[in-house]
Structure 1
Amino acid sequence: MALMIPAAALAAESFPLSYSSVGVEGSYIDSGNSRNKGGVSDNLSNYGEFGLNFTHQFNPNVSMLLQGSYAEPETRNTNIDVDMLRFSLGGRIHPGKFRLGGWRPFGGLGYSYTDFDVDSTGSSKTEDAIYLEGGLQRMMSPRFMVEGGIRARTELEDGYVDGQYFAGVHYLFGREYPAAPRRDVVLATKKEPKVEPPKDSDGDGVIDELDKCPDTPQGALVDSDGCAKELTKDIRETLYVEFELDKTEVRRQFYPEIENLADIMKQYPTSNILLEGHTDSTGSSGYNQELSKSRANAVMKVLINEFSISAERISTTGMGESQPIASNDTAEGRAQNRRVEAIVSGQYSEIIKK
């Protein structure tokens, strides 16, 4: 039912002043009040009904509904199939501007003509009824509207009342909206005194009188007080140091890369580093596990002794031969697998630019 759709899922569109629409409707008929009132049509089980609608809204307060609908109910006690065809015509009243959370209420009054054909006997019956209805409508987009509500239909001959719960979707066309307000050109009859605009010395969009941060960097995004907004970002830097076969000594050729990593850690003093040692598949796995740990510790000593990085910011682990990055079947691949990977992680704040 359209009334069950969360309001947040629907766009907040305005209703046109007038429009026409075509749509589909599904409904559930509670025919309990007609039990044992007379013939076949007065003794039906509850049933579902499908309809096609045409509506026209004449102005913000008045619209009309023309509907043709079909159903295949059964008789309550004998389960005889019945074909039902119904035509309805009614008028609706809408409050011009009143809304319930974006939904527009409506109330209506109409007339229904219904034809019942009994499949087993070939007999038929018609009935006339009037109905009262009430419900809610909402624009989903400029072209589509949903609605839902309830009708009470009173059969004129026997006087019983059936309830109908309905929901539908409409496609709108021939829409008319309010005209844009006219802007008249007013010519000044005298020269107004020149008014100096308030100053904004740092050009951040907040005048000096209200600016609590008068020296904001050019191009920075600021808040209502003129202070730069900052964004917390993650630091991610990775280093690879390769080793000779069965060695733990860090070769001098890798010192410049280790120094660059140390500079990043000094630039971001809250960052930490994880050193992961790795080996190729030469030797036993237990020996390789110890060897990989020793290689990680060797890089840690270079960071501490050569580049003054605190030991408290460094952690090491040995991965052994478990995570090769190349094939161990070639000398070149084994050389790549004899390595230490260093991963710097942390966070820093950066001024957001416009």
Structure 2
Amino acid sequence: MKVLGQKSKEFKLQRAVVVSLAACLTVASYSANAGDVQTEGFTLAPSLGYLTHSESRQGAEDAADASIAAGYQFASPWALELAYTISEPGNPIASGDLDANQIRLDSLYHFGKSGKAQPYAVFGVGKNEISGGPNDVDETLLNAGVGLKYQLSKALSMRTDVRAIAGLDTDTMETAFNLGVHYVFGKKAAKSKPVSKPAAAAAPMPIKVTDTDGDGIADSADKCPNSDAGSKVDQNGCYRVLKEDVRVELNIQFANNSDAVVSDSFAQVEELATFMREFPLTNVEIKGHTDDRGAATYNKQLSQKRAQAVADILVDKYSIDASRITAKGYGEEQPVASNDTAAGRVANRRVEGVVSATVEKIIK
């Protein structure tokens, strides 16, 4: 009977390991067709690990374990997980292995992202059950640790962490090492459809009739009969007017995690202000941006502060009416370069603005 019981326990652990590995493979195969990078949504994180015991708990020895965690990643640095862990540590005191199970509710806090790597802290509370030894254990536990996620694809990351797990009732301590994958199920950004361009209007056919000034328009329809021969005129025989768009562009870079406008950028702001005074009917949208390091919510707030800082200079220093200025932060949503390089991140930490006006020039 002991042999059968031991085989049953071994089968249970093997089954947990197989389920965890199968979940890893399923998540990995699904992520191959994933779209945009997910920053919010439900999460699934199977893993394998190892538990070490700094103090004896029912004679339990160090052992491998298998875990599965499901939760939700919020649109902030925070995430919440419900995790279940199973292991069968050896027991030199009693014959056969022990049955050890943990269920935990954990909080994760993610720090700033560096390239594809993102560190995080984890802490939580749970329940620990050990049976099969001289005395069964049923206790409350606390755990805390640090970990790292490394992005493999749009929604899939490798994940590893180390934790200290304290048993409150038995006054014992465990150390847990885990390695697995982390998948985020979320909505993908809809792809914008290309806007079709209107077909160019066909040029009017010239009328071969009496044309005194030689501009190609018949005298009967020529409202400007004294135009120069061979000049470019409209259908009324008058000189054509070219409507030309003139514009001023603003592109200011910012230091990492800063919304301060450096003095080297003031010349661009002054040029924009001069243009807006020359064309008093123009308005401008000041657009703030960041790189992708840090949480998306924080980056949106930082980009708004950057845009507002430039808008305030236009109003306070150059007396541009605030009603003509809109400041809006876009966070990390509109990069102009890759965030995987330092130069690309510098280019993405920016404030943009474009002001345009139409002027008319006579073409002869």
Query: Which structure is higher in helix share?
Result: 2
Return the TM-score normalized by structure 1.
Answer: 0.42
Over alpha carbons, which structure has the higher Rg?
Answer: 1
Return the TM-score normalized by structure 2.
Answer: 0.41
